[in-house]
Amino acid sequence: MEHHARCYCGQISLVAEGDPVIQCFCHCTSCRRWSGQPVTACILWPEDRVRFVKGKEKLHRFSITDHPEGGKFSCAVCGGAVCTFIPGARLFDIFAGVLTAFDFQPTIHINYAERVMALSDGLPKYRDMPERSGGSGALIAE
Ligand SMILES: [Zn+2]
Ligand SMILES: [Zn+2]
């Protein structure tokens, strides 16, 4: 199954294939500052299952690290968020709001220690990340 995504103005669009690796809420300061939202709805896909359909040349990359590939990608025309590329894990993170028709089913919260808004939804809340993703695996109670 293909999942379509686009920026705010629609000049950049991409497709993610199949099931995502994970769907989660991220409370990290980095996501928060970039998105302007208290919580972000993150959906991760392996690099090889994401392709740009149009407007790739209009991508603007911003990174706070020296890595030549990683960073936050937005549309140079409208400024809207497109995706984040995580080079270490070779994953694209596409916000749920950028996907055009996706049934967002988050299973965990990550980086909950950095939260500015508490949520009581019964989902596991990781202090940073699950162990399988290189985090401590520690949980925070609601
Ligand atoms: Zn745009
Ligand atoms: Zn984040």
Whether pTM > 0.75 for this model: the answer is yes
If you measure from the C-alpha of residue 38 to the centroid of ligand 2, how many angstroms do you get, rounded to a whole number? 10
Q: How many domains does the chain have?
A: 1
DSSP annotation of 126: B
Compute the distance from residue 118 Cα to the ligand 2 centre, in Å: 15
Ligand 1: centre distance to CA 13 (Å): 9
Are 93 and 70 spatial neighbours (Cβ–Cβ below 8 Å)?
A: no
Token readout for 34 is 């970039």
Domain of 33, CATH number, reads 2.170.150.70
Residue 139 placed within a domain: no
* Half-sphere exposure in the Cβ direction for 119 (13 Å, CA): 24
Question: pLDDT 10s digit of each residue in the chain, 142 long?
Answer: 999 999 999 999 999 999 999 999 999 999 999 999 999 999 999 999 999 999 999 999 999 888 889 999 999 999 999 999 999 999 999 999 999 999 999 999 999 999 999 999 999 999 999 998 889 999 999 9
Ion ligand 2 residues within 5 Å by Cβ: 26, 28, 31
Beta strands in 2-131 (DSSP E): 2-6, 13-17, 22-26, 40-46, 50-54, 59-62, 71-75, 81-86, 91-95, 108-110
Q: Which ligand sits nearest to residue 11's alpha carbon?
A: 1
Measured in Å, residue 74 CA sits from the centre of ligand 1 at 8
Residue 138 lies in a domain: no
Q: Quote the domain boundaries for residue 84.
A: 2-133
Q: Which of 53, 63, 66 is nearest to 12 (CA)?
A: 53
